[in-house]
Amino acid sequence: MTLSSHDPLNLARLAMIAIADKQGRHTAAYDVRERSFLTDYVIIATGQNAPHLKALFTEIRLRLKELGMPCFRKCGDPDSGWIMADYFDIVIHLFLPETREYYALDELLHDAPKIG
């Protein structure tokens, strides 16, 4: 069975593959459909430094753009330690380790089902 390239779960998995291919760390993806009316999936990943965050975001953006899915909104920048990319059905948070620990989004979402 082939999933549509615009299926939110498939898009989330493709974003996770892009993160893995660029050596993103500690990637977690949460199904928030039962908790949020704003998005279906939240992905959180850690980069090693500011240039790595930029590379992670660029890789995700290019791969999803190939499928006709441009980034609706991007907030933050590599030097801030946090980039958020909004693709409507998926929201991606890329953090430096200390920023991820500080904002603790994983703790906020701990009871949401994880996807793989």
The reply to whether 7 falls in a domain is no
Domain assignment of residue 37, given as a range: 22-108
Q: Which two tokens stand for residue 26?
A: 């500690």
| Residue 12 within any structural domain of the chain | no
Enumerate residue ranges in the chain where pLDDT < 50. 1-4
pLDDT at 94: 98
Residues in contact with 20: Cβ distance below 8 Å, sequence separation at least 6, in sequence order: 27
Count of domains observed in the chain: 1
- CATH no. for residue 50? 3.30.460.10
Answer yes or no: is 74 within a domain: yes
Q: What is the pLDDT of residue 1?
A: 32
User: What is the CB neighbour count within 10 angstroms for residue 108?
Assistant: 12
Give pLDDT, residue 6: 78
Give yes or no for a contact between 57 and 96, defined as CB atoms under 8 angstroms apart: no
8-21 vs 50-66: helix crossing angle, rounded to 10:
140
Residue partners of 65: CB distance under 8 A and separation at least 6? 71
Residue 10, domain member (yes or no): no
pLDDT recorded at residue 44:
98
113 domain-assigned: no
Domain contains 116: no
Residue 46 lies in a domain: yes
